[in-house]
Structure 1
Amino acid sequence: MAKETTARGGGVWAAADLLTPMAVRVAATLRLADHIAAGTQTTEALAKAVDANQDVLGRLLDHLVTAGVLSSTGPAGYDLTAMGRHLCEGEPEGMRAILDIEGALGHAELSLVHLLHTVRTGEAAFPQQYGVTFWDDLSADEGRAESFDALMGARLAAHAPAVAEAYPWGTLRHVVDVGGGDGSMLIAILQSHPEPRGTVIDLPGPVRRAEKAIAAAGLDHRADAVTGSFFDALPAGADGYLLSSILHNWDDAAAARIMRRCADAAQTTGRVLVVDYFNDQAVQTEGDLRMLGYFGGRQHTLEQLGELAGAVGLHVTSVTPAGRYSVVELRAPR
C-alpha cells in the first residue's frame, strides 16, 4: 500500500489524532527513550526491561518509528531520533515527566477525553474521569503529589530568573510566596535581590521540600516556610504577597477567596503580585481549556484578572513583562 502523501481532511486528522499522542505518552511512562539511549535497543530486550508484552510493544515501537520518535535500525531494532531524545530523563524541558501517565499531569491529561461533558455542563473533566477532584486525588496519592510539586517547581524554576530580574523585588522588605510549593520562585528572587526576606506558605508536603531547598540555597537566614492554606487568613504585615501560577488552578469563586486573603493581609500598605501567562495567546487558549478540564479553573486574561481583583478591593497598578510570564502588581486604594 502506497504511503499517504496528503493531509487527511486538510490536516484535521493529524490535529484530532488520539493514538499517536497516547503512544508517545506510553513511551514516556515506560521510559523507553532512557532504555534505548542506554543501549537496550531491541524489542525483546526492551520488553524485558519495561515488563511489557513483547508483541504489543513491538507494534508500539513500529508506530513510534512512523511518528518520527524512533528510527529503525533493522528487524526489531530501534534508535532515538532528535524528537525521541526529548523523552529522555534530564532533558532541559522535562517532557518525559510531563507526559508520564502515572505522574500528576499525565494522569490529569487523560481526563480531557471528557471535554464534551465540560463544554456541555461547565464542570471539570477530572472528576468525570476519576470520581474525585484533582486536589483530592493528589491528597490520596503521595507519589502523584510529589510529581505535581516537582513539575510545578521545575516550571517555576525555568521562568524564575526572568521574573526575579524583571520586577523591583529589592524595594520590598518581606515577600510571602502564597502557595509557593518547593520555594523555587522565592529562592530565585532572594538570590537576585539581597534586601528582602521571604516566607513560603503551603501545605505540609511542599513546606518540607521548601525548607530543604531554602537550606540548600543557603538562604535559611533570610527565608522560612510555614504550613498553611491560602483559603485561611495569611500572616499580615508583609509588603508583598506573591501568587505565582496559583489562581488559574481554581474556579472564579475560589480564586476570589484566595485574592481576598492576600488583600486582607496586604491591607493598604502592601501589594499582591500575580505571576502568570498573560501575553502569550497560544498558552492562553490551550492553558485555559486545560485548567478548566483539570480543576474547573481559568487561565485569566489581564482584563479578567482586573475584574477578579476589583471584586476584592484591589486594582492593577503595573504590568511588568518577565519572559513568557508577566508580573501584575495589585494594590488597595489608599
Structure 2
Amino acid sequence: MPEQPSALHELLEMADLTRPLAIRTAATLRLADHVAAGADGAASLARAADADADALRRLMNYLVAVGVFAEEPDGRYRLTELSDRLRDTHPDQTRSALDMDGGHGRADLCFVDLARAVRTGKATYAVRYGRPLWQDLSANPAWSESFDASMALKTAHAAPAIAAAYDWSLLRHLVDVGGGNGELLIALLKAHPTLTGTLFEQPLPAGAAAVRLARAGLGGRAEVIAGSFFDPLPIGDGYLLYDILHDWNDEDATRILHRCAEAAGETGPILVIEPTDLTDPFIAMVDLRMLVFFGGRQRDIHQIADLAAPTGLMITSVRQAGRLSVIEFHRAGGHA
C-alpha cells in the first residue's frame, strides 16, 4: 500500500536539517541580540552580524516563516517568544548552548557523522576535529568555558532535586569528582551547612570552580584540587559522580569507580547520579550524544551495577531526583 502523503511529510519534516541549523546560525551570529539592539532591518542586521546581506535576508525569511522571528510590513524584524530566548542575556542561556563557535554547539555538529558512530560504535568527535573532545576543550579556554557554562546551567536546574533526594548532611566531607565549575557542590553546601567538600577537576574548570566557590562565600568550606579521576583521588568520606560515567565506555567507567572505591575505603559511600530510564525519549537522545561525543553511553540501574561489580561495590539505595537516579554504593559487607 502506498505511503500516505501526511506520513511522508511528517517523516521528511522530522529528518530535515534546515530548521535546527538555521536556528543555530541565528544563535551563532547573535541575531536576536542585534535585533533587540536596534538592527531590525535586513541591511543593518547584516552589518551588525558581519554577514552577507542577501544571504542574511534569506536566512531571516526562513526564520520568519517558521515563527522564530517576526517581520513587520515595513520590513523591520522583531523578536518572538522563541527568538527572545536566543538573546545572550536570557536566563535560559540557550544562545550559548547553540552557538556553533562555542564548545557545546561545536560538538553538536558531530551528529552529521552519526552513521559512522553507529557503524563503528566509536565517538566521531576526534574524526571531525582531530582530537577527543576533552583534549580539545583543555586546549581552548573559550570552548571549555562555554561548554562548562552549558553543563552548569543543566546542573543548576537539577541541583534542588539532588540536594533534597539524599541526606548529604550524613557526610562530613564530600569529594565531587569531576565537579565542573562547582555548580552542584555550591548547591549542596548551601543546602547542608555542616557539609564540607573538595572539588576535583581538570585545571581549566577547577580554576573556574575556585572562583565561583569564593564568590559564593564557601571558600572556607571547600577546596579545589586539579587532577584526573583516573589517578588516586583526594581524601574524603563520601564521593560524588554526577553525570560522569555516561561520558565513558564501560572499561573507563569501571576504572573511575575503582578510584572512588579505593579512596572511600570500607565504609564511605559513592553516589552516582545519572538518568537511568532508557525509554525516556530525552534520555535516548542524550545517549546518542554520549556515543558521538565520547564513545560513552547512558545506562540503566543494572548496567551501572555491573560496572561497579569488579570494584567490590554494590548498590545500597536508589533515590529519584526528577529524571535522575541517585545511586548509593558501598563496598560489599562494608555498609553498616
- Calculate the TM-score normalised by the size of structure 2: 0.94
What is the CA distance between 1:235 and its match in structure 2?
Answer: 2.0
User: Is residue 227 of structure 2 the alignment partner of residue 235 of structure 1?
Assistant: no
- Matches for 1:74-223 after TM superposition, within 5 Å: 74-223=73-222
What is the CA distance between 1:104 and its match in structure 2?
Answer: 1.1
User: 1:34 corresponds to which residue?
Assistant: 33
Relative to 1, partners in 2 of residues 1:208 and 1:168: Cα closer, same or farther, differing over 3 Å? same
The secondary structure found in structure 2 opposite 1:316 is: strand
Indicate the larger mover: 324-333 or 108-117.
324-333
Selected match of 2:243 from 242, 245, 248: 245
Relative to 1, partners in 2 of residues 1:278 and 1:93: Cα closer, same or farther, differing over 3 Å? farther
Q: Give the residue type in structure 2 aligned to 1:256.
A: T
Number of aligned residue pairs: give it. Answer: 328
What is the CA distance between 1:106 and its match in structure 2?
Answer: 0.7
Contact 1:37–1:80 at 8 Å: present in 2 too?
A: yes
Consecutive unaligned residues in structure 1, runs of 5 or more = 1-5
Selected match of 2:273 from 272, 275, 287: 275
The secondary structure found in structure 2 opposite 1:96 is: helix
Q: Give the residue type in structure 1 aligned to 2:256.
A: I
Name the CA distance, whole Å, in 2 between partners of 1:161 and 1:317: 23
Q: Give the residue type in structure 2 aligned to 1:19.
A: T
Q: Give the residue type in structure 2 aligned to 1:298.
A: R
- Matches for 1:283-322 after TM superposition, within 5 Å: 283-322=282-321
Name the CA distance, whole Å, in 2 between partners of 1:228 and 1:136: 14
Per-residue Cα deviation, 1:267-313 (whole angstroms, up to 9, x for no partner): 21101101122247122210101100011011121121111111221
Name the CA distance, whole Å, in 2 between partners of 1:60 and 1:115: 26
What is the CA distance between 1:7 and its match in structure 2?
Answer: 4.5
Per-residue Cα deviation, 1:137-178 (whole angstroms, up to 9, x for no partner): 112222101111211122212211211122100111110000
Q: Give the residue type in structure 1 aligned to 2:136.
A: D
- Calculate the TM-score normalised by the size of structure 1: 0.94
Relative to 1, partners in 2 of residues 1:79 and 1:8: Cα closer, same or farther, differing over 3 Å? farther
What is the CA distance between 1:10 and its match in structure 2?
Answer: 4.4
Aligned Cα root-mean-square deviation (Å): 1.4
Contact 1:58–1:76 at 8 Å: present in 2 too?
A: no
Name the CA distance, whole Å, in 1 between partners of 2:138 and 2:221: 30
User: 1:53 corresponds to which residue?
Assistant: 52
Contact 2:88–2:96 at 8 Å: present in 1 too?
A: yes
Name the CA distance, whole Å, in 1 between partners of 2:6 and 2:209: 49
Relative to 1, partners in 2 of residues 1:125 and 1:75: Cα closer, same or farther, differing over 3 Å? farther
Indicate the larger mover: 20-29 or 130-139.
130-139
Contact 1:171–1:195 at 8 Å: present in 2 too?
A: no
Selected match of 1:256 from 245, 254, 257: 254
Q: Give the residue type in structure 2 aligned to 1:95.
A: T
The secondary structure found in structure 1 opposite 2:72 is: strand
Per-residue Cα deviation, 1:123-148 (whole angstroms, up to 9, x for no partner): 11212222221112112222101111
Name the CA distance, whole Å, in 1 between partners of 2:111 and 2:210: 35
The secondary structure found in structure 2 opposite 1:310 is: helix
Contact 1:8–1:14 at 8 Å: present in 2 too?
A: no
Contact 2:85–2:94 at 8 Å: present in 1 too?
A: yes
Q: Give the residue type in structure 1 aligned to 2:139.
A: A
Question: Between the two proteins, what is the percent identity of the paired residues?
Answer: 46
Indicate the larger mover: 241-250 or 6-15.
6-15
Contact 1:316–1:329 at 8 Å: present in 2 too?
A: yes
Name the CA distance, whole Å, in 2 between partners of 1:193 and 1:129: 44
User: 2:68 corresponds to which residue?
Assistant: 69
Name the CA distance, whole Å, in 1 between partners of 2:94 and 2:63: 16
Q: Give the residue type in structure 2 aligned to 1:233.
A: P
Per-residue Cα deviation, 1:228-277 (whole angstroms, up to 9, x for no partner): 110100123x2210011111111111111111101111121101101122
User: 1:3 corresponds to which residue?
Assistant: none
Name the CA distance, whole Å, in 2 between partners of 1:279 and 1:122: 21
The secondary structure found in structure 2 opposite 1:294 is: helix
Name the CA distance, whole Å, in 2 between partners of 1:153 and 1:250: 19
